[in-house]
Amino acid sequence: MKKRRNKLDEMQEQKMLHIESKGCWIAFIGLMIVIAAQLVYYGTDCGNQIIGETIVFLCMGCYVLAACVKNGVWDRKFEPGFKVNLCASLIAAVASGVLKFAIIYREYGADGVAVGAAAAAASVNSINTFILCFILLSVMLLVYRWRKNRLENALPDEKEEK
Amino acid sequence: MARNIPIKVARAEKDMTQKALAEAVGISRQTMNAIEQGEYNPTIKLCRSICRVLGKSLDELFWEDEEQEG
C-alpha cells in the first residue's frame, strides 16, 4: 500500500504530538481508574470483566518502558537512582495497599470482617508491591544504564570527526 | 522569544504576503505567523528554506544578540 504523505508542517506536527501525548496519558490514567474502580466495586471475582482493560494498560506500560530504555531516556525531572526508585516503590506500595483495603472492606465489610484484618491484608499487599516494584525498577535502571552507555559509545569519536 | 522583525522586513521587500511565503516554503500560514511572532522556534531545515525563498542568509534573518535571546 502506498504510504500517504504527511500533510502537517513541523509546527503542526509538534502540536499533534503534544495532543497525542496528552490523549495517551488521559487513556493511561483513565484505564487505571476504571480498573481500580471495577476491582473495588465488583471485588476480586471480576477478573474476566477487566481482562481487556488490563491487557491494554499493560501493553501501554510495557511499550513506554521498553521505548524509553531503548532510547536511553529515563525521566524529564528525576535523575535515575536508588532514591527515586525507593520513592516510586513506596508510592506504588501505598496505592496498592489502599486499593486492597478498599476491595476487602467492600467485599467483606458487611460480613463483619474487622477493619484490622483488611488492614493486615493491605499491609501484606503493600509490602509485596514494594518489593516487586523496587526489584523491577532496579533491574530497569541497570538495563537503562547499560543501554545509555552503549548509545553514547556507539557515537563516532570526536577526534575522528575532525 | 523575541518577534522576528527581519523576516517581516525581507518579506515586505519581496512584496510577499505571509500566505505566499508560507506556500513557497511549504508550511501553513499559522506556522509562518508563529515564527514571525517569535512563538515557534523553527528547525534549521525550515530556516534554510525561508532564507532561500527570501534571498537572505541565516544570519540576516535568524541571528539574535544575547540580549534579544533572553
In chain B, residues with a C-beta closer than 8 Å to the C-beta of A11 are 27-28, 30-31, 34, 40, 42
- Which is more confidently placed, A7 or B7? B7
Q: Is residue B11 part of a domain?
A: yes
What are the backbone angles phi and psi of residue A47, rounded to the nearest 5°? -50, -45
CB contacts < 8 A, A to B, total: 19
Q: Is residue A5 part of a domain?
A: no
Q: For A90-142, write each residue's pLDDT tens digit.
A: 999 999 999 998 888 887 776 666 778 888 889 999 999 999 999 999 999 99
pLDDT at B70 > cutoff 60:
no
Domain count, chain A: 2
In chain A, residues with a C-beta closer than 8 Å to the C-beta of B30 are 11-12
Q: pLDDT-derived band of residue A158, with 50, 70 and 90 as boundaries? A: low
Q: Supply the CATH number for residue B23's domain.
A: 1.10.260.40
The whole domain housing B11 covers 5-64
Judgement on whether residues A66 and A80 belong to the same structural domain of the protein: no
pLDDT at A161 > cutoff 70:
no
Q: For B22-31, write each residue's pLDDT tens digit.
A: 999 999 999 9
Give residue A126's pLDDT. Answer: 96
pTM summary value:
0.78
Nearest to B61 by CA among B49, B43, B40, B47: B47
Judgement on whether residues A44 and A98 belong to the same structural domain of the protein: no
Judgement on whether residues A31 and A58 belong to the same structural domain of the protein: yes
